[in-house]
Amino acid sequence: MTSIQVRPAEPRDHADVAILHHREWGGPYVVVHDTRYDLRELPTLVAVDGAGEFAGALVHRLADDGLEVVSLAATSPGIGAGSALLAAAEAVALAAGADRLWLVTTNDNLSALRFYQRRGLRIVAVDAGAVDRARRLKPTIPYVGEDDIPLHDELLLERRLETTAGPRRSGLPG
């Protein structure tokens, strides 16, 4: 597997990131959990392969409820960019003291569900019809997704992070 390095995006990456987001999401806007994000306004990590070529990008948002991975995409699947970016996002979350990394994917995205679950994320909620609602905000969202699966629902996945502060007090004695 090619060695992948991850670093914060720099101005020289903007064109590569824009092309990738256009390929994956039709442009810089995504609608998830009834929220419209402009990916250009959020912190971005980029993956670079051993030859120095752009290999993928992860866009995230830190808030009180943890680090949300708003977008993750690799230029070519299976060369390790997604794994490296997800690990780097976890490091960002931990450095910020967040105890949770989470994201939303769609019911058709079986390869992403495989990818995330193999990396320790759990499916913690299903929002039936969320993509149908999102389509009202972003009419270009297709009706049929990967593998010709009708696209309707959002799945929320999360991974609890071990912070150096240790587990939070449960409030129980002992």
Q: Which of residues 102-161 bind ligand COA (CB under 6 A)?
A: 103, 105, 109, 111-112, 115, 118
Amino acid sitting at position 53: E
CA dist., res. 166 & res. 139, Å (int): 44
Among 9, 24, 120, 153, binds ligand COA (CB under 6 A): 24
Among 8, 26, 78, 142, binds ligand COA (CB under 6 A): 78
80 touches ligand COA (CB under 6 A): yes
Q: Both tokens of residue 119?
A: 């990396």
Query: Which one, 78 or 129, has the nearer CB to ligand COA?
Result: 78
44 touches ligand COA (CB under 6 A): no
The stretches of the chain forming alpha helices (DSSP H) are 14-25, 81-95, 110-118, 130-137
Query: Which one, 70 or 98, has the nearer CB to ligand COA?
Result: 70
Pair 39, 90: CB distance under 8 Å: no
